[in-house]
Amino acid sequence: MNVFKLLSRAPKAVQSAPTQKLPSSGAAANPQLFGRDQSERAPDSSTKSRKRKRGQDAGEEEQDLPPALDFFSWPSEGKKRKRKNGASTEARGGEEDTEEATYGHAVLEPRTDATEEDVYDEAECKRILRSHKLKIVVLEDFAGQDESLLKQKKEKKEKKKSKKRKHEEEEAQKKSKKKDKKQLFPRPLESFAQLRTRYGISRKLAQNIEEQGYTMPTEVQLGTLPLLLGSKKAEKEDEAAESVGEEFQERFMNGDIDLLTVAPTGSGKTIAFLIPIINGLLSEAKNTTSPNPGPRAIVLAPTRELASQIVNEARKLAKGTGIKSALMKKGMEVVQRSDEEGSQASLSEDEVEKTPHAQKRTRKRADVVKAAILVATPLALLNALRLRGDKFAELPSVNRLVLDEADVLLDPLFREQALSIWNSCTNPALRVGLWSATMGSSIESLVIDTLNSRWNSLPSTPALPPRSPLVRVVVGLKDTAIPNISHKLIYAATEQGKLLGLRQLLHPTALPSDGSAPSLRPPFLVFTQTIPRATALHSELLYDIPPEAGGSSRIAVLHANLSSSARSNIMTRFRRGEIWVLITTDLLARGVDFRGLNGVVNYDVPNSAAAYVHRVGRTGRAGREGGVAVTYYTKEDIPYIKNIANVIRASEKLRGEGEGKATIQQWLLDALPTPTKREKQRLKKRGVEARRTVKDQDGRNRARISTKSGYERRIENRLRGAKANAKKGPKEERTRLERADSESEFEGFDA
């Protein structure tokens, strides 16, 4: 049976198909990845706030559409709870508010009673945080780093030291830093309703969160929202705040901290950083009569696709609050600049003198963006801030800076741009948030160094507020793929083998019935190493989908060389379910959220373990089960594949899969070579050498992807050439050439 025919059939026929729990078949009732095991919970708390409602089994979570067709359904769409404007949480009644448990056990039910406040001791907080695999530490205990201490530090630095002493001091510093890592156990957020009842967030914001269908916070949300919203409003005596020293306590209780968060893909980091920003802006607006001009919060993201997704989320959360969000686009102005500065920003000195366009541009200058939240890619924002050469305008109005996918933004590729923007935000009260699913230790030290140098450069006036602590939140195991998807690592030997494998996925009838080959139902993403390979693969597969199922319109390619309107058009069609197979590059590897994506195919092996974590994390979002990640590798990949095999192994361990069920057997891990640091760096920078773009005779980029061997292609080319010549020449010549072609020697395969 052809899957595409199946998908194009009437709902009745589809319904009779065996139901498989796929990401596209709806939302998981519990978006959390960890802490689902009831046995971990203390007996007292298990009876208190969890109960199961009649007739609300896992199956009933399905949407109205047949599961197989309902690709991009939204968790509670169509089930959004009716709520009168401004109605208090108590007034809503218990029955309506309950989200139900899947996975055969009851889960923590959202709390709706504003007055129901349990006193949690540190042990209880610890237990909950641990069961959700949350670890929160203060990276440097800045409490007590008063002016005199800083002065002493500076003086010490200036003194000349012998090499030995320097080394000893560094060692001691490292040790004390380790000691400084103080673990915190703040009270976790149990439900979104508590955002209003405990943390007093704006009523409208709370309502918007509810309208989105969010009820149960994910791990990253239950850990970071209390930290960022501050415990001051929540309770006078916060155990975690108490344990961190007096000076620091105040900052902690106000949510005045810098935060570095590492949490799994699809775990809802976006709303975890947006809610405190929007709430902060709302309380600022309440407390000031003349609001500061210019953006107050900046969110940086590595791609336009991700930036526009964040703007959409921000707009939904801030609906009706008056807080505006904008996506940074070409030509937008962020700061008030003199006409001369603005028009000359992007011109060289010679051009400034010569060009008459400078005058024209001066007249066309756009208004300064009025939105309080500005979301941008680093380059787009930096271009808007550029004055002349390496000088950038300052953004003193900004007091919140978020780096989404912080590890990639601080990677050498974007580092200079991201740091320039960070340094343009000159407000001493600037708080920074760094978020990603992966974070190398070098990023952590870079952040600490940047914070330190910013702090040290501030003039020490009595008005200077005490320094804020840097808190690190880690959910689950660092740099590991999510446990709720299944991984298939397949040796395809050659490029042709990979193409055959992918074709089998597109035509499941060709799959062996023993289940030895993976099956994957659309919609899915296919990742390649380069843009030319993505376009080549797209041309190769264009006619693989039968016309009765939509034909070539069901398959598309998306990469950075397309115009922005083409890119957004493809994104929209894929989100709507019009496109079933989207071939792309690492452009879509990070952050982009296609809720009901059934799987990811790594047609070309990713360049690093982190890239693997992000690519496969496009499926299985918000706790959805059933996502599949297929990775093909060839003999060229063998030197590097161990990193990825290790990530898969760790994620399967997290899922609790023993040796018998695991995709990666120990023997394979033992047999694979361990890449050196240099090899890893080279791979990250250049990808697999054999797959790098090949130029043809005309100098055009050719990334050959074909099931035909090099020999077959050569014969074909010669025949084509011969036929063209024969048209011009006598009949004998034609015959001779054709014979010569068919008798040409076998020259081996070069797939």
Nearest distance from C-beta of residue 78 to ligand ATP, angstroms: 15
- CA atoms of 340 and 342, how far apart (whole Å): 5
Question: Which residue of 195, 409, 481, 622 would you call a contact of ligand ATP, by CB under 6 A?
Answer: 622
Nearest distance from C-beta of residue 42 to ligand ATP, angstroms: 23
Q: Which is nearer to ligand ATP, 184 or 225 (CB)?
A: 225
Asked if residue 621 binds ligand ATP (CB under 6 A), the reply is: yes
Contact (CB, 8 A) for 281 and 543: no
Contact (CB, 8 A) for 282 and 321: yes
- CA atoms of 544 and 152, how far apart (whole Å): 71
Instruction: Concatenate the DSSP letters of all residues of 643-678 into one string.
Output: HHHHHHHHHHHHHT--TTT-SS-HHHHHHSPPPPHH
Instruction: Name the nearest CA neighbour of 209 among 272, 259, 262.
Output: 272
Nearest distance from C-beta of residue 169 to ligand ATP, angstroms: 38
Q: Which is nearer to ligand ATP, 214 or 612 (CB)?
A: 214
- Give the residues across from 583 on adjacent strands: 526, 557
- CA atoms of 384 and 301, how far apart (whole Å): 16
Residue 146: Cβ within 10 Å count: 13
**Interactions with ligand ATP, residue window 555-614 (CB under 6 A):** 591, 593, 595
Nearest distance from C-beta of residue 676 to ligand ATP, angstroms: 29
Q: Give 165's contacts (C-beta < 8 A, 6+ positions apart).
A: none
User: How wide is the angle at C-alpha 484 spanned by C-alphas 6 and 606, nearest 5°?
Assistant: 85
Q: For ligand ATP, which stretch binds (CB under 6 A), given 118-126, 194-202, 518-526, 616-624? A: 616-624
- CA atoms of 412 and 403, how far apart (whole Å): 15
- CA atoms of 129 and 123, how far apart (whole Å): 10
**Interactions with ligand ATP, residue window 208-247 (CB under 6 A):** 214, 216-218, 221
| Residue whose token pair is 């976790």 | 188
Q: For ligand ATP, which stretch binds (CB under 6 A), given 142-150, 267-275, 475-483, 657-665? A: 267-275
**In the 8-state DSSP scheme, what is residue 386?**
B
Q: Which is nearer to ligand ATP, 299 or 393 (CB)?
A: 299
Q: Which is nearer to ligand ATP, 111 or 595 (CB)?
A: 595
Instruction: Concatenate the DSSP letters of all residues of 95-133 into one string.
Output: HHHPPPP-TTS--PPPP--TT--PPPPHHHHHHHHHHTT
Question: Which residue of 23, 75, 255, 687 would you call a contact of ligand ATP, by CB under 6 A?
Answer: 75
Question: Which residue of 23, 31, 255, 518 would you call a contact of ligand ATP, by CB under 6 A?
Answer: 31
Contact (CB, 8 A) for 275 and 225: yes
Ramachandran bin of 389, using left for φ above 0, alpha for ψ from -120 to 50, beta for the remaining angles: left
Q: For ligand ATP, which stretch binds (CB under 6 A), given 127-135, 148-156, 260-268, 505-513? A: 260-268
Q: Which is nearer to ligand ATP, 239 or 586 (CB)?
A: 586
**Interactions with ligand ATP, residue window 417-456 (CB under 6 A):** 437
Asked if residue 188 binds ligand ATP (CB under 6 A), the reply is: no
Q: 359: which 2 tokens?
A: 């005058």
* Residue nearest to ligand ATP as judged by C-beta position: 268
Q: How many residues bind ligand ATP (CB under 6 A)?
A: 22
Q: Which is nearer to ligand ATP, 228 or 263 (CB)?
A: 263
Q: Which is nearer to ligand ATP, 496 or 607 (CB)?
A: 607
Q: Which is nearer to ligand ATP, 522 or 617 (CB)?
A: 617
Asked if residue 26 binds ligand ATP (CB under 6 A), the reply is: no
User: How wide is the angle at C-alpha 617 spanned by C-alphas 305 and 637, nearest 5°?
Assistant: 105
Nearest distance from C-beta of residue 376 to ligand ATP, angstroms: 17
Asked if residue 269 binds ligand ATP (CB under 6 A), the reply is: yes
Q: Which residues bind ligand ATP (CB under 6 A)?
A: 31, 75, 214, 216-218, 221, 263, 265-271, 437, 591, 593, 595, 617, 621-622
